[in-house]
Amino acid sequence: MKVDQLKYIDSMQFMNSSLASLTKNLGANHSIISQHFKKLGYIDEQLTLVLHKRVYFYDYIDLQNRFKKTELLLYHKFHSEYHDIYFKTDIFSLADIWIVFQKMSMEYYELDPSHYISIPALSWDGMLKMIGVKIELFTNMVIHDFIEKVKRDGISIAC
């Protein structure tokens, strides 16, 4: 999805694994999430709790006015500051995961995944770079029309 100059890309286009699994693979490398929650006054014991994926009741949070409820809710119907912590944890965990992925890509391929729409596009450029192939741009409209006619899901069958 693109809004003005910003392009929003689903992380699943790059990392085909759950956020819980990816976060677990980070080990102790949670620099962004640690910095944020420490600024909020969290101590190390609380931070340890935040770094583990928790349960969230998406089915209950179906209307905006659910956030305005003040009475104590049953376990299956709940909202508190836990909601905010839950989403911040997800967002900052994903940021930490992305930075590790980006560093790895830059280190091995000298390609920044932030400039790609998906892992296949990044992999394609990585492959071309690793084998030293340079694909020339063509200006012949007949060739252009042929490629447009036969391409399937991004990579041309004419290659």
Query: Distances from the Cα of 102 to the Cαs of 25, 45, 119, in angstroms?
Result: 15, 29, 12
Mean pLDDT computed over 115-140: 88
102/112 Cα distance (integer angstroms): 6
Residue range 115-124, pLDDT digits in tens: 888 888 899 9
Each residue of 22-49: pLDDT tens digit? 777 776 667 777 777 778 777 777 766 6
- What percentage of the chain reaches a pLDDT higher than 90? 15
Mean predicted confidence (pLDDT) in 11-17: 74
Rounded to 5°, the CA angle 9-86-35 comes to 80
Q: How far apart are CA 101 and CA 16, in angstroms?
A: 13
How many CA atoms lie less than 13 Å away from 11 in the CB half-sphere?
17
**CA 19 to mean position of chain CA atoms:** 9
Residue 94 in tokens: 């994903």
